[in-house]
Amino acid sequence: MKKTFWSELVFWLHLPIILVWFGLFLVPKSIWPSRVVFHFWYITVIMLIQLFWGFVLMSYTKKIDFICPQTTLMQWLRGIPVKRKENYQHSFIAELFQKLRIPINYRGVNILLLITLGIVAVQYVWFR
C-alpha cells in the first residue's frame, strides 16, 4: 500500500468528523441546548451517506454495507482498486487505533458506530 500526500491528507480529514461524532457526547445540554438534535442528524446523515455508498458499491461487495466514500477515496489513492475487499472493508477508525496500538477491526468499528447511532437516537427521542 503506497501512502502519498493525498492519501494521508484524506486519512487525516477523517479525524474532525470522528472527533465531532464522539466528542458531542461530552458536550452538556446546558452548554448547547440543541446538541442532541444536531448530534442525531449529524450521525444520521453520515450513516445515510455511507449506506448510499454501500448501495453504489454493492456490485463489488455483493451485500448492503456501510461504506465511507472518503475511505474508498483514501484507499484508491493508496493504489487499492475499489473492487478489492481491502478498499471497501477498511476503516479509518480501525487504522487509527492500530497506529495507536489499540486492536479493533472493521466489524468492531461498524458495531461501535451503530451503537452510537442507537444511543443518539434514544437521546433524540427522550431528551431533546
Give pLDDT tens digits for 84-114: 999 988 999 999 999 999 998 888 898 999 9
- The three state secondary structure string of the chain is CCCCHHHHHHHHHHHHHHHHHHHHHHCCCCCCCCHHHHHHHHHHHHHHHHHHHHHHCHHHHCCCCCCCHHHHHHHHHCCCCCCCHHHHCCCHHHHHHHHCCCCCCHHHHHHHHHHHHHHHHHHHHHHC
30-89 per-position pLDDT tens digit = 999 999 999 999 999 999 999 999 999 999 898 888 899 999 999 999 999 999 999 988
Residue 16 above 90 pLDDT? yes
pLDDT of residue 72: 96
The predicted pLDDT at position 106 comes to 82
What is the model's pLDDT at position 3?
78
